[in-house]
Amino acid sequence: MGHATHFLSRLERISPSQIELAKQLYYNPPLVRAILRGFGGAPTDRVAIALDAGPQAPHVIVTREGAFVTCLGPGMSVGDKPVMSRQALDDHMHFHRRLLATYEHIEGLSFERWGRGGIPGLMRRKAEALSRQDVEAMVPLQPLMLLDLCLRFVTAAKAARKHRNYLRDVMRKNPKLGRQKRNSGLLKEYWRNTWDVANYHVLLALGGPGDFLRLQTEDGLEEDPYLFLHIYNMLDGHVGLGLRSLWAAGMRGPLLIDQCEQLIAESLGNMCFAEIVATMTVSALRHPELYPRVDAFLRRFIEDEDPERVLICGYAMLVLLTSENLLELQREVGWQHYQQLYKDLPSGHRYYFERAEDAPDNLLMTIATYADNNYHTDLDAMWHLFACLPWLAKAEVHEIYLPAALIKPSDHLESAIRMLTGSSAVYGPGAPVRAELKPGRNALCSCGSGQKYKQCCLQVEA
């Protein structure tokens, strides 16, 4: 008998009003998981939730992941399990009901605040223009959007992969991709999908490794190591996209290391190697307990025969050894980008600065992560990506997005074409190979034997 069936069969032990409460919890897994995240208690696998006040109260037993195990009647012992009192349960439920009401209210303010489609619709429309203020407003609602975000993340990743492969093939056949009006819609869709993947991934990662592992194993999503690492985003080679996915990867670091090493064992190309090394590096920076394992991995490849892999491992080791020094370098890069992008700001603007020392550190750090260059075609851009990792590993989620007042519109078509051009050079299909022309069955064989092809080499080939 499974846990769910066992639990439901034991509800006869409690009163009708308590059954109603137990079923209310049972049929709302996101609420239960959110409540358990806010409950401390001893670090055990199971928790007892009281359905009434007093020492003789009945309890439901649930796992830390929110699965219901059994129901204990009045006076039955819960053993050594931590107990959430009825008062604590009511407080948590009241808080989350208010949070849910806020979420529904925000969803209802469709055209006033978030626009058509609510929060996911806003994320899709804004793409790279999603602002710091937008993210700060979304973060408290993340637990209530978790499954929806994950499904959207998977859908966007698959759509981006489909569009990427199709457009690469079109580009191979006709390099003048941007001048073909029939492809402009696909290019914009591809651009939005790549940013959807990055932004959904960032919000998903706020729950830490546990949410991703549970969603991957319990909610029926297909197992795909590339998807649940973040490689679909990194394949595009865009520094800004890559760094947001690396922030999310760093949050989930302990979950990723085994998958990283398995992918390396598959003899992937050097660019996939670089992306996996960057994932392991940011994971070690955010989770110091992973440093020895990542360091041993890098030392194994630092003497590789491939000079490009040696360079990539050298970047990673330099980042791990000199992370504090790189913060100042990133600040300088951010100031350079600030001078290029915002030279037209009026002197009275909130974010107008004449000198680098007047600008807040975190603002310059964030500006540095919005680089539009492509590390598939520019090794300097690859170093830029690695050099940002020490700050990225410590940044709060809102800090990796620019304030709304500093976001500038970009040319989606040009940006998408640059991404495709760079990634096609690394991953795209090669030039078509013309099949060897063979003689007709009754023609003379091309080997020079003087016999008909059907009586000579065709029989050998068969």
Q: Does the pLDDT value for residue 231 go beyond 70?
A: no
pLDDT in tens, 316-369: 999 998 888 888 888 888 999 899 888 888 988 989 998 988 998 889 999 988
Is the pLDDT score of 172 beyond 80? no
Three-state secondary structure call for residue 12: helix
Residue 431 has pLDDT above 50, yes or no: no
Residue 59 has pLDDT above 90, yes or no: yes
Which pLDDT score, from 0 to 100, does residue 165 have?
80
How many CB atoms within 10 Å of residue 347? Answer: 6
**Average pLDDT over all residues of the chain:** 78
Catalogue the E-assigned strands of 22-172. Answer: 46-50, 59-63, 68-72, 83-84
Write the CB contacts of 398 (distance below 8 Å, at least 6 apart in sequence).
Answer: 132, 135, 136, 139
Alpha-carbon torsion angle 200, 206, 208, 209, nearest 10: 0
d(C-alpha 125, C-alpha 328), whole Å: 34
pLDDT tier for residue 44 given thresholds of 50, 70 and 90: confident
The more confident residue out of 417 and 359 is 359
Q: Is the distance from CB of 44 to CB of 83 less than 8 angstroms?
A: no
Quote the pLDDT of residue 226. 47
For the entire predicted model, the pTM comes to 0.67
CA distance 158 to 226: 11
More confident residue, 101 or 135: 135
The Cα–Cα gap between 34 and 139 comes to 14
Give pLDDT, residue 233: 55
Q: So what's the pLDDT on residue 64?
A: 82
Of these ranges, 34-48, 317-331, 431-445, 447-461, the one predicted with the greatest mean pLDDT is: 317-331
